[in-house]
Structure 1
Amino acid sequence: MYKPAQWRFQFWKVLSILMLLLLSVAIFATEAKAQETCLQCHGDVGQKIERSEHSFLSCTSCHTDIKGYPHPKGASLDKKESVATCSNCHKGQIADSYGSSFHGKAVHLGSEKSATCADCHGAHDILGSDYPNSKVAKANVPQTCAACHEQASPGFAEGSEHFKFAPSGPGAPMYYTAKFFTWLTLIVITALVIHIELQLYHNLRTILRERKRGE
């Protein structure tokens, strides 16, 4: 037999679970209604999303700034916002490796020409690389890259993306290249500082020597 205190605990426990279930249903219904509203105008986009890897997401999962219709000016995501939106889910190595890449650094510095996640993977028609019609399928990579790199060759498909900078694996060449230039920069700056100090020391000794001669 449960004691009164245990009954109260069980009651609030069951009530909390029911409240969470009701809240989940309400959120799902709201998302479904919002999605239905979006598809009244963006039906073609909705069809692409349904066939994509993101079919479980709603429009407002990515377009978080859109709360109603008509859309505010600038509703389309800019480069930085686009990357930040993708990084909300794709954290860790994927986001870090993009941020360390030439594309990621350029976007971070304000470039409007450098590629974002959507430029390579697509925006509403994202498919895994094992799908033949995916933008990042090996056979399609040169064409995808050619959107920015006019001279993109089949060799573009041989490169590795989203690799970890490490002493071994696909990221090893970039890892050692970065290490080399880091040390080269430090050595050159150190040598330059030493050279300047020696030159100043030499000039000071010359001035002092000439003063002694003048006396």
Structure 2
Amino acid sequence: MKEHYFKERPESESNQRIIQANLLGHPFSFITDSGVFSKQGVDFGSRFLIENVEVLPGDRVLDLGCGYGAIGISLRVHYSQLQMTMVDINERAVQLAKENWARHCLQENMKIMESDGFAQLQSDQRYDLIVTNPPIRAGKAVIYRWFRDSVSYLAPNGRLWVVIRKQQGAQSAVQELSHYYPIVDVVNRNKGYWLIRAVMN
């Protein structure tokens, strides 16, 4: 049986590989492993988010559920002034994200840590931008908890960007986000994926 990637301590035997990807016009090579999301290549949803998210110079960014780091690392390479924080519940994914960060010679303006959503982040920490390709297999209770908690970690005019497939609950995600955010819109759609933006006042 395929192991669920949304767990703290993966039990599957490690089987690392290196994958290649071109994101935002930059070549990347990422170390991946069993027990983490999309180990065979950067998935379409993550690519869709990376290529379309609106980033401002100097944004404090949180990559929520970072996996092996494709979203956060590619954004940090392309937008060099970002302050990047990356979190994941999966210890193997976090270690990979750290190794992949180092592979791309990114030394500063970063924090990568284990956290179940926002649990290990400082309560007074604020971000200008939170990006997530949420763990659908973890269920709506987890994802909606992330939506609710994100409000407390965004700066004024902060933005949450979420990519999710229509058949996996994009419409209900929009409705749920509307309970917490004054502005929620679908920025783009492609191949059944919706790119959703929620903005604080």
Greater strand fraction, Structure 1 or Structure 2: 2
- Whose helix proportion is higher, 1 or 2? 1
Question: By the TM > 0.5 criterion, same fold?
Answer: no
TM-score by length of 1: 0.27
- TM-score, length basis structure 2: 0.29
